[in-house]
Structure 1
């Protein structure tokens, strides 16, 4: 048996019960402390096992798997094979393809991948229920917290910002709660970034993984990471994405997306200054420059 990281106590027996003949365990976690994911196999039969860091993550992921089973095809998302709330353990089927983030793609293929991603997310959102009053209250809390974070970041980064950027960050602290209140809720994937997209070059299929952040919120929250990390320098990918998504954003959605992305940018900048990380400082400036340009 091969193994890069030992299973926590009790997990191995649970895996063996659900995958008799277990003979291979490979750590495939993301490089962050809370990520605990393994590829397991019994001969030719493989699966993925994940330990959720919290009960909320576990509950969200189980519900996310149930949702995908209703709306996405087998080649578009893995299926839940087993789950244990006591262990906070999830076993899922493998999905063909490679993670898109960092994957070298020709431009034509890259455009297709982003268009397919927009199309898949459109179906995900269109099948959603409108959420509950608790979902709405959770959103209000989250928007207040993000507005407060922007105000705090502004105090510590003001000298590094242009006048336009300062004005935009100030708008984040003022407008986020009211803007979010105007928009309907959808069931979000919650982490719809390229690290959770799979591309299977052989079949030409786009896939989606990781449902631990699935929750209700405005649709544009799904686009914030892409807006700041990808679209800021690749408007062609943004155009392809929304061609797949099938509709333009409303004025309120565009404004909320810009402000949420600005909040992300000033957060990058603040973290970079605090941690002396040049990469985060540069990323923050890139995002803020782009958002100020669009705001203008």
Structure 2
């Protein structure tokens, strides 16, 4: 694979005078398109467009943060470096690797969005060509990777990162009372695997039966969360058919549930090509229609005032209190932002498009949900929830400012 010269001065001018390339990439701007191999609520992993080593990756927070230490809490920093570790492990699986290099670069004057370079040094490189010599354009030169090879590497990285992080079975598992409750419901459990989310207060285990079978055991953070999820499992979830787990057992005193396991892998963190993304959103729309069909429609004109009046209560509550259906689309709106094709696929699956009034109402609910999420995320130490709220407010503000400019107002 040949190496070519790289115009660093032109690159520096673009970096210092142009927009944030990571933010524009995340907004779907084709000029700043990269091969994204992983994305979740907090982080994105993508191939470097100007690599000196094969498969070189960049890992960045979704939010525009400038200081790799000062702009992160300890929990947020740990989550970022956990993603870096996963990216490095995936890269080792895909390209020949003697050693993984990590760097945090950038400047407040250009490329200010925090990003971590993850590069794989191949075996057999002479010592004097390793370390910074292998990473700098002036010493190594730009690696000219064919488009088809880039696509092949990206596909393999996506597959490696789509699998959930390996979790070791725990000899201890949950508390004895939870173990007893579970085994009374499904029989003797041979092993427990902690699959909790990387956030404070998350307690979820995968339980494997001594005679086969798997279930998930979840301890809710309080009675309100427990009652809400149990009510969902007993009311609208059965209407979704085989696409959802089934409630096996409930213990209100423990705030615990046992649910069936489903085959497949979660969408969280997976990256799909556009046509597959549209198919997923179409299916999501169909599932949303199945959920909302029994509920009477709530007109925005009838409920907007009430929603605004409840804003102070939303701020004091753990989560917003939105009508059935509204909350579902509030959380999805962040995913279709800048992607009208995904919104079209979702509404096609849903069976109808949203009216202008409904979209305006959704914007109000997004803002309320974001502010409530920020309040709760900060209080509960939940960086993912906090991040989502901040990102939503930033997006809503940018959209409003762009609309004002088009109308010639301030």
TM range (shorter): 0.5 to 0.7
Structure ranking higher on relative contact order (CA contacts 8 Å, 6+ apart) = 1
Q: 2:220 aligns with which of 52, 62, 84?
A: 52
Q: 1:2 touches 1:23 (CA, 8 Å); kept in 2?
A: no
Q: CA deviation at 1:82?
A: 0.9
Q: Deviations over 1:15-73 (max 9, x none)?
A: 22223221110111112223211100114211000111111222222221112454121
Could you tell me which runs of 5 or more consecutive residues in structure 2 were left unpaired when the two chains were aligned.
Answer: 1-167
1:138-287 maps to which residues of 2 (within 5 A)? Answer: 140=306, 143-146=308-311, 217=323, 219-227=325-333, 229-263=334-368, 284-287=393-396
Q: 2:189 touches 2:207 (CA, 8 Å); kept in 1?
A: yes
Higher-Rg member (1/2): 2
Q: 1:37 touches 1:50 (CA, 8 Å); kept in 2?
A: yes
Larger deviation, residues 277-286 vs 37-46: 277-286
Q: Whose helix proportion is higher, 1 or 2?
A: 1
Secondary structure of the 1:81 match is strand
Q: 2:191 aligns with which of 24, 33, 38?
A: 24
* Partner of residue 288, structure 1: 397
Q: Deviations over 1:85-130 (max 9, x none)?
A: 1111100001122221221212211110011001111111002368
Could you tell me which runs of 5 or more consecutive residues in structure 1 were left unpaired when the two chains were aligned.
Answer: 151-212
Count of residues paired in the alignment: 225
Q: Deviations over 1:145-164 (max 9, x none)?
A: 436879xxxxxxxxxxxxxx
1:128–1:107 Cα change, 3 Å: same
Give me the TM-score of the superposition, normalised by structure 2: 0.47
Secondary structure of the 1:63 match is helix
1:233–1:250 Cα change, 3 Å: closer
1:40–1:215 Cα change, 3 Å: farther
Establish whether residue 90 from structure 1 lines up as the match of residue 263 from structure 2: no
1:4–1:35 Cα change, 3 Å: farther
Q: 2:277 aligns with which of 100, 105, 110?
A: 110
Q: 1:78 touches 1:93 (CA, 8 Å); kept in 2?
A: yes
1:283–1:63 Cα change, 3 Å: closer
1:266–1:113 Cα change, 3 Å: same
Query: What is the distance in 1 between the residues matched to 2:358 and 2:297?
Result: 17
1:279–1:224 Cα change, 3 Å: closer
Q: 2:366 touches 2:392 (CA, 8 Å); kept in 1?
A: no
Query: What is the distance in 1 between the residues matched to 2:373 and 2:220?
Result: 26
Query: What is the distance in 2 between the residues matched to 1:100 and 1:144?
Result: 36
Establish whether residue 73 from structure 1 lines up as the match of residue 241 from structure 2: yes
Secondary structure of the 1:24 match is strand
Give me the TM-score of the superposition, normalised by structure 1: 0.63
* Partner of residue 32, structure 2: none
* Partner of residue 195, structure 1: none
Query: What is the distance in 1 between the residues matched to 2:351 and 2:403?
Result: 22
Q: CA RMSD in A?
A: 3.9
- Structure 1 stretches of at least 4 aligned residues deviating more than 6 Å after TM superposition: 147-150, 213-216, 266-273, 277-280
Q: 1:71 touches 1:127 (CA, 8 Å); kept in 2?
A: no
Secondary structure of the 2:332 match is helix
